[in-house]
Structures are given as C-alpha cells and as structure tokens.
Amino acid sequence: MNAPEPKPWIMAIDPYKPGRSTTDSGAKAVKLSSNENPLGTSPAARQAFASAAHSLERYPDASGTELRDAIAAIHGLDPARIIYGNGSDEVLHLAAGAFAGPGDEVIYVNYGFTVYPIATRRVGATPVVAPDRDYATDVDAILACVTERTKIIFIANPNNPTGTYAPRAEIERLHAGLPGHVLLVLDHAYAEYIEGSDDDGGMALAKTASNVLVTRTFSKMFGLAAERIGWGYAAEPIIEAMHRIRLPFSITIAGTAAALAALGDTGFVEHTRAHNAEWRRWFAGEIAKLGNAGIRAVPSQANFVLVLFEGELTAEAAYKGLMDAGYIVRWLPGQGLPHGLRITIGTEDDNRGVIAALRRMSGAGAGVEADAG
C-alpha cells in the first residue's frame, strides 16, 4: 500500500460521540444530553472571561501557577503535585500516555466513561472491561481482572453514564488490594454532586499513596464546559511524568481567569448543588411512579439520571418522543445500553417537562399527579 497507514490500535478506536445539541427536525430544544450546568455559570466567571479579551496576543503561563495555587489553597493541596489540562479529558489521556503502552492492560468497568477506551487504545494498550454489579462499580470484579500487565485502572466516581457511586470503604478496599505498580485513577468529574459531606476518600488517598491520581473538572458544577479546564492530583513522580507529555499551552488565559473567578464564587456552587440535589430526588421519585410501565431509575449521585426502559415503551421510542416534546437526552445503544436514556437534571421547567412527556408516552397520563409531587 502506497499511503500513510494509521497504527492498527488507532483504527480500533470507536470515536467519541458527544451529546446531541440539535433535533432531527431542527426545532429548538432543551439540551439535557451532556450533563452541563442548567443554571449557567458564575457571573464573576463570565466577567473574568470577558476581561481576558485584553491579552489575546499573549501566550498563557505555561506552568499554570495561578490556577495551581488557587486550587491548592482551596483543597489544602501541594501546588507542585497538581497537573492541569484541556478538560480533565486531557488529564486522563496524559495518565494513559505516561503509564501505559503496547502490551499493557488498562481496566475500567462495564458502562464506564467512554473516554477510557479511547485513551487506552490511543497508546496501544489493551482494554480490560470488568463486569458491573447492577450497573454499579464492583470492586471484587475489578480486583479479579488485575494481572502483572495491568498498568492503570480508570474509575469514575460517581460514574458516567450510570450515576452510581462507590462509597469510601469500597474505594479504600480496592486500593488496598492493588499491587503498587498499578495506577488507580479516580475520575471525580461529579464529586461535587455527592449527597452529604463525605467523598469517596480519593483525595485523601492521592495525598498519601504513591499510585493514586484524582482528576477534577470545571466543566460540570462550575458551568465552564466551554473553557476546557480540568486538573489532577497525585504523588510527585506521577505528576512529573505527565507534565513531560503535556502540551505546553493546553489551557487558555480566558479559561484560567474564568476558573479562578468560579472558584471564588462559592454561592453559585452551593446554589447549583442544592438545586441538583432537590431535583434529582424529585426526578427519581417521579420515575419510580412509572414502575408499572417497566421504567426505573438507577440510583444517582451525579447531575444526571440513567433511566432504564424494560417494559413496552422502549428507550428508543422515549428518546424520539422526548425530542418531539423539545428535550434532547442521551440514548446509549453504543455503550451497551440500548434500553437506557441518560437525562441531565435541568431547570425546574425542564424536569417537569421531561416527566410529563414520559408519563404521556408510558400511558400514565400527563397530569396533575406529577405536578403534585
């Protein structure tokens, strides 16, 4: 063959499919397909972003000092041990790039985040999928997959697209069962949405263990998905290796300014957290009322709910019906969930509208009952 040939492991990648933002008919619709913040972003972040228009000719600070210092101050971390990237997606890719390659194995769970197989195959490593337990992370199943060739385990906690959460004791048990050569990556994209003050203990592990990387993002709770800023925390040798392959200017001046302002606006974060907790509870309660129609919600600790259609109304029909009603959600046949819709928690109007449409389609009636809840 007389043409450049891509690497076979690159051609084995199933390209990432983002949440849709347009409907089949082109009619305007509410986008509940990418877990974005329905309340927007902090006004302070908007303002900081706008003022960055004055320095478009400048390169950003290649060491991200201001951002690392601000994150470190808020979370009580060592700024030297913070990596950052173009979204936490880039940080996940850096971990794969620095710690896995051809012949190595990378473990993630069935119904895991779709970036993990891409990051794994990109570096020529072999994906190993651990079975789930009723859609949730199963620590024993993961431990059973670990071999001498295992280099990385990717876990999103809470997980996307299932919304399930592995509690602290489980994460600690997983870490305790791992050989030291395995890097445990705990993807905390939705950590801010967990109910209660507890987290999964990931950051505490990252502070002390030599093989734990926690990743965080400004895309979800902080409402800055457009600006692509994520970060990670781990032992210094892990971070140092990742910095070697990081693009020197992966985050922008405007994005950094917005992130710094967003960090300072705790009011916006608290408001988002309270809104999400209230409406996630309401949404799950309304879905529970559709149990007779074979519809159920997987318990979620994130800003979305995975709804399963196991009765007469199929997920595909519900997906199309919701689109006709003006709501774009995520149907997941490509992720082994042809019976599932991932629905982002929206504004009050959005949530009530989605439930009313689902009631209508499932034959439960549109009405009064749903609104009384």
Ligand X SMILES: *Cc1c(COP(=O)(O)O)cnc(C)c1O
- Does residue 31 sit in helix, strand or coil? strand
- Closer to ligand X at the Cβ: 87 or 117? 87
Options 108, 111, 113, 309; binder of ligand X; rule CB under 6 A: 113
Options 44, 129, 225, 241; binder of ligand X; rule CB under 6 A: 225
Options 87, 202, 346, 353; binder of ligand X; rule CB under 6 A: 87
Contact window for ligand X (CB under 6 A) among 133-141, 214-222, 240-248, 346-354: 214-222
Site residue total, ligand X (CB under 6 A): 14
CB of 1 to ligand X, least distance (A): 35
CB of 250 to ligand X, least distance (A): 11
Helices 87-99 and 115-122 pack at an angle, to 10 degrees, of 40
CB of 86 to ligand X, least distance (A): 7
Q: What type of residue is 180?
A: G
CA distance 213 to 207: 9
Options 41, 219, 301, 335; binder of ligand X; rule CB under 6 A: 219
Q: Which two tokens stand for residue 301?
A: 């600790």
CA distance 289 to 49: 44
Q: What type of residue is 94?
A: L
Q: What type of residue is 330?
A: R
HSE of 90, CA atoms in CB hemisphere, 13 A? 22
| Binding flag, residue 88, ligand X (CB under 6 A) | yes
- Closer to ligand X at the Cβ: 151 or 216? 216
| Binding flag, residue 353, ligand X (CB under 6 A) | no
Question: x/- string (CB under 6 A) for ligand X, residues 277-316?
Answer: ----------------------------------------
CB 322 within 8 A of CB 308: no
Please state, as a whole number, how many other Cβ atoms lie within 10 Å of the Cβ of residue 135. 19
Question: x/- string (CB under 6 A) for ligand X, residues 116-155?
Answer: ----------------------------------------
Contact window for ligand X (CB under 6 A) among 44-52, 143-151, 218-226, 336-344: 218-226
Q: Which residues contact 88 (CB under 8 A, 6 or more apart)?
A: 187, 189, 215, 216, 217, 219, 230, 231, 232
Contact window for ligand X (CB under 6 A) among 76-84, 87-95, 250-258, 276-284: 87-95
- Closer to ligand X at the Cβ: 113 or 283? 113
Options 42, 137, 160, 162; binder of ligand X; rule CB under 6 A: 160
| 367: exposed, middle or buried (Cβ count in 10 Å: 0-12, 13-18, 19+) | exposed
Cβ-closest position to ligand X: 87
Strand ranges (E), the chain: 30-31, 82-86, 105-109, 126-130, 150-156, 183-187, 212-217, 229-233, 295-297, 304-309, 327-328, 330-332, 337-344
Q: Which residues contact 122 (CB under 8 A, 6 or more apart)?
A: 9, 10, 13, 93, 96, 97
| Binding flag, residue 89, ligand X (CB under 6 A) | yes
Name the site residues for ligand X (rule: CB under 6 A).
35, 87-89, 113, 156, 160, 187, 189, 217, 219-220, 225, 230
